[in-house]
A and B are shown apart, each in its own frame.
Chain A
Amino acid sequence: MENGKFIRLENVSKAYPVRGGFHQVFKNINLQINYGDKIGILGRNGSGKTTLIKILGGVTKAKGNIVRNMKASWPIAFQGGFQGSLTGFDNMRFICRLYGEQWQDKVVFVKEFAELGKYFYEPVKTYSAGMRARLAFAISFVVEFDCYLIDEVLAVGDSRFKRKCNEELFIKRKDRSFIIASHQPTGIQTYANRFFVLHNGEFLEFDRFGEAWNFYDKNRV
Chain B
Amino acid sequence: MNDIVELWKSLKIQWRVIYALMMREIITRYGRENLGFLWVFLEPALFTGGIAFLWSYVSFRFYERAEFSLAAFVLTGWIAGKLWMITAGKTMAGVEANTALFYHRNIKPIDLMISRIILELCGVTGAFIVVSLFFIFIEVITPPVNYSYLTLGWYLMAWFAFNLAIFIASLDIMTDLVRKVWPIFSLTLFISSGTFYLVQWLPDSVKPYALLLPTVHNIEMIRYGYWGPVFTPYFDASYSFLFNLFFMLIALTLQRISIKKLEID
Q: Which of B24, B102, B262 has the most CB of A within 10 A?
A: B24
Q: Is the interface of A mostly helix, strand, loop or mixed?
A: loop
Q: Does B105 count as interface, using CB distance less than 8 angstroms?
A: yes
B102-132 residues at the A interface, CB under 8 angstroms: 102-107
Give per-residue flags for B165-198: 1 if the beta carbon is below 8 A from chain A beta carbons, else 0. 0000000000000000000000000000000000
Contacts of A98 in B (CB 8 A): 16-17, 20, 104, 106-107
Given the known inter-chain contacts A83-B24, A86-B28, A100-B16, please indicate yes or no for A59 contacting B103, CB distance below 8 A.
yes
> Once the chains are docked, how many angstroms separate the CA of A80 from the CA of B105?
14
- Name B100's contact: one of A72, A81, A99 (CB within 8 Å): A81
Q: Which of A74, A94, A99, A100 has the most CB of B within 10 A?
A: A94
Contacts of A58 in B (CB 8 A): 105
> Once the chains are docked, how many angstroms separate the CA of A80 from the CA of B102?
10
A94 near B264 (CB under 8 angstroms)? Answer: no
- In the complex, what's the smallest C-beta–C-beta distance from B115 to chain A, in angstroms? 11
Q: What is the interface size of chain B, counting residues whose CB is below 8 A from a CB of the partner?
A: 22
Residue of B with least CB distance to A75: B103
Contacts of A75 in B (CB 8 A): 103
A74 near B263 (CB under 8 angstroms)? Answer: no
> Once the chains are docked, how many angstroms separate the CA of A59 from the CA of B103?
6
- In the complex, what's the smallest C-beta–C-beta distance from A14 to chain B, in angstroms? 11
Q: Does A57 count as interface, using CB distance less than 8 angstroms?
A: yes
A86 near B16 (CB under 8 angstroms)? Answer: no
Contacts of A86 in B (CB 8 A): 24, 27-28
B106 near A83 (CB under 8 angstroms)? Answer: no
B24 near A94 (CB under 8 angstroms)? Answer: yes
- Name A59's contact: one of B13, B17, B19, B105 (CB within 8 Å): B105
Give per-residue flags for A70-102: 1 if the beta carbon is below 8 A from chain B beta carbons, else 0. 001011001011010110001001110111100
Q: Does B23 count as interface, using CB distance less than 8 angstroms?
A: yes
B101 near A60 (CB under 8 angstroms)? Answer: no
Contacts of A100 in B (CB 8 A): 13, 16
A90 near B107 (CB under 8 angstroms)? Answer: no
> Once the chains are docked, how many angstroms separate the CA of A99 from the CA of B104?
9
B105 near A57 (CB under 8 angstroms)? Answer: yes
A80 near B103 (CB under 8 angstroms)? Answer: yes
> Once the chains are docked, how many angstroms separate the CA of A90 from the CA of B25?
11
B263 near A85 (CB under 8 angstroms)? Answer: no
Give per-residue flags for B29-45: 1 if the beta carbon is below 8 A from chain A beta carbons, else 0. 00010000000000000
Contacts of A16 in B (CB 8 A): 263
Given the known inter-chain contacts A54-B264, A60-B263, please indicate yes or no for A80 contacting B107, CB distance below 8 A.
no
> Once the chains are docked, how many angstroms separate the CA of A91 from the CA of B243?
40
Given the known inter-chain contacts A86-B27, A86-B28, please indicate yes or no for A60 contacting B264, CB distance below 8 A.
yes
A74 near B104 (CB under 8 angstroms)? Answer: yes
> Once the chains are docked, how many angstroms separate the CA of A58 from the CA of B106?
10
Q: Does B61 count as interface, using CB distance less than 8 angstroms?
A: no
Q: Does A61 count as interface, using CB distance less than 8 angstroms?
A: yes
Give per-residue flags for B68-101: 1 if the beta carbon is below 8 A from chain A beta carbons, else 0. 0000000000000000000000000000000011
- In the complex, what's the smallest C-beta–C-beta distance from A85 to chain B, in angstroms? 5
Q: Does B260 count as interface, using CB distance less than 8 angstroms?
A: yes
> Once the chains are docked, how many angstroms separate the CA of A54 from the CA of B100?
12
- In the complex, what's the smallest C-beta–C-beta distance from A133 to chain B, in angstroms? 16
Residue of B with least CB distance to A84: B28
Contacts of A54 in B (CB 8 A): 264
A97 near B27 (CB under 8 angstroms)? Answer: no
> Once the chains are docked, how many angstroms separate the CA of A54 from the CA of B99?
14
B20 near A94 (CB under 8 angstroms)? Answer: yes
- In the complex, what's the smallest C-beta–C-beta distance from B23 to chain A, in angstroms? 6
- Name A74's contact: one of B16, B27, B32, B105 (CB within 8 Å): B105
Q: Which of B13, B28, B102, B104 has the most CB of A within 10 A?
A: B104
Task: List, sorted by A's number, 23 A–B pairs whose CB atoms are closer than 8 Å.
Answer: A16-B263, A54-B264, A59-B102, A60-B264, A61-B260, A61-B262, A72-B105, A74-B103, A74-B104, A74-B105, A75-B103, A81-B103, A81-B104, A86-B28, A90-B24, A90-B27, A90-B32, A93-B23, A94-B24, A95-B104, A97-B20, A98-B104, A100-B16
The 8 lowest CB-CB distance pairs between A and B, nearest first, are A80-B100, A97-B20, A98-B20, A74-B103, A58-B105, A94-B24, A81-B101, A81-B100
